[in-house]
Amino acid sequence: MLTLVSLRQISLTDCTQTNVSEELMLIGKACRFVECISSVGVVGSFACLHTKSRNMAKSKFEYVRNFETDDTCLRNCYIVVRLDGRNFHKFAEQHTFTKPNDNRALGLMTRSAHSVMEELEDIVIAYGQSDEFSFVFKRTSTWFKRRASKLMTHVASQFSSSYVFYWKDYFGEQPLLYPPGFDGRVVLYPSNRNLRDYLSWRQADCHVNNLYNTVFWTLVQKGGLTTVQAEERLKGTLAADKNEILFTEFDINYNKEAALHRKGTTLIWEKRDETIVKRLKLPNEEEKEVPVTRSRRRVQSYHTDIIGDQFWEEHSDILEADNC
């Protein structure tokens, strides 16, 4: 059976013995011959040769793959990916964020977190405050084969790109001066109690930081103190002392401040019924509008306490059984 190589050899040999017109004639015959034999299956041999060469495409450099480390997350554990804004104090200053809380910035953080959850549906709950957000993957998740690096980089890139993409929706014509940065980490929690304690820790952190910032900036903006004086005034004070300063000096009841600022933002999946109108064509070719109700899972926001039991009792589908 002739191969492509032998055809090439024939045409080259004959070309040395003929003029230009004969060369072209031989080449044309060779091409028609290849078309002919391909129709009876010889092309399969060529395809086979191509497949073999592709499968055998290894090189002496391939050993470097052995340097990759196994970062598969332990099974039966909740995977938490936490993002933190990189150098966000400077970012907030340069973009003139409102002190102590900028609702535009908080709304943008929440919208970016929505985008992450909609992209990765194995995230069962997310919690955010200030410039951070934690995303909890269900313990049975097999996304990206549970590779920590894949999960973290996907969450970070989706969040960062969403932050830039939705910037104008929250800041209007105010320009984004430079790309924001977020670093991430992956932590595993083996039990429901461990996970709840982690989320409680983050919400407690939200309360402590927000109370301090509220008093600090009230002393500066309404009390006329400098930032150094306000910091000195609050040094060594407890939560009760800070509440007392707000109430007695500025008539501010901290418990009546916006729940968004005091409690942070919790995102979960919920099924909601929605009704749409469909046009149906009747047998007499008339059209009729008919309401159709269907249930859809959507990401919902809450600004509520997640340290106590009530939230978890009302949303018992978030946590998986500990006996997995």
Annotated binding site for GTP: 84-89, 130-131
Q: Are 125 and 266 in contact (CB under 8 A)?
A: yes
At 181, which helix (H) or strand (E)? none
Distance CA 195, CA 79 (A): 9
Tokens of 282: 């009747």
3-state DSSP assignment of residue 303:
coil
State how far the Cα of 291 lies from the Cα of 52, in Å rounded to an integer. 58
Which pair of structure tokens corresponds to residue 189? Answer: 């929690």
Crossing angle between the packed helical segments 192-221 and 239-250, to the nearest 10 degrees: 40
Place of tokens 């985008």: 115
Pick the closest to residue 122 from 80, 70, 165 (CA basis): 80
Q: Please state, in angstroms and rounded to a whole number, the distance separating the CA atoms of residues 324 and 312.
A: 19
Return the bridge partners of 317, or none: none
DSSP symbol at 184: E
Binding site per annotation, positions for Mg(2+): 84-85, 131
What number of residues does the chain have?
324
For the chain, how big is the Rg over CA atoms in Å? Answer: 32
Which residue positions form the known binding site? 84-89, 130-131
Distances in Å between the Cα of 318 and the Cα atoms of 197, 212, 245, 312 are 15, 32, 39, 8
> If you search the block for the tokens 């200053």, which residue do you land on?
93
Between β-strands 132-137 and 123-129, what pairing exists: parallel, antiparallel or unpaired? antiparallel
Residue 95: Cβ within 10 Å count: 19
